[in-house]
Chain A
């Protein structure tokens, strides 16, 4: 079982990867990048446990391509996450991993997850290298690996950013994605 903050169905290739996916925000992060857009996910306290069986049920019921693992820092739960990633891959599902670690920092559990993932977006977010016009990444130092699996050789589409506004029944608005300064300013008003 992994410990998560929230999960949601997504369909936006620029932000979360190809196809319809289950986006999972894992709870807790030990890295704490300056300027992180999800500092509310740093704490390992609280959260909700989630199993392979529950994930596969959601994927199959909604005809999804796979999961996108976000955080928090997914690899800080490597031992439990490896079991889940193995189950997903053996069921023919794809896995996209967002991690603040670089490959050379990884222990065995973390490295196994990295090697199983179809796409890995890796590296610390660096505020001084922030660029919102990149696919998947928030700063220019971050790297994307498409070393194996369904998306091997995937071509990145940089040059624009995407903001996804979801409007609830009561008019409340939830925003996902990398915002330009213009749109971020607009959202404050």
Chain B
């Protein structure tokens, strides 16, 4: 199985975009939550079409504490 990956982009204005790769079902949400919950003030998650299949790709936009 391909390696599980999380790519986190942090802008200089304090916004975070996170994407997961090669994770199944809700696993991506759990991993993102573990990684980012201490940073976020508010979070909006968009499930892409792939979320409803086996391979998951989720975009997560988070307003980070400054």
Contacts and interface: CB of A to CB of B under 8 A. Distances in A.
Task: Report, nearest first, the 7 A-B pairs whose CB atoms are least far apart.
Answer: A167-B4, A133-B12, A165-B6, A160-B11, A163-B8, A180-B10, A160-B9
Given A12-B7, A165-B5, A160 B12 contact: yes
Contacts of A168: 3
A167 B5 contact: yes
A183 B10 contact: yes
Contacts of A189: 38
B53 interface: no
9 contacts: A12-B7, A133-B11, A160-B11, A162-B8, A164-B8, A167-B3, A167-B6, A186-B38, A186-B39
Given A165-B5, A167-B6, 20 more contacts: A133-B10, A161-B9, A162-B10, A163-B8, A164-B5, A164-B6, A164-B8, A165-B8, A166-B3, A166-B4, A166-B5, A167-B3, A167-B4, A167-B5, A168-B3, A182-B65, A186-B35, A186-B36, A186-B38, A189-B38
Contacts of A182: 10, 39, 64-65
Given A182-B65, A183-B39, A159 B9 contact: no
A167 B31 contact: yes
A14 B9 contact: yes
A165 B4 CA distance: 8
B4 A162 contact: no
Contacts of A163: 7-8, 10
A159 B8 contact: no
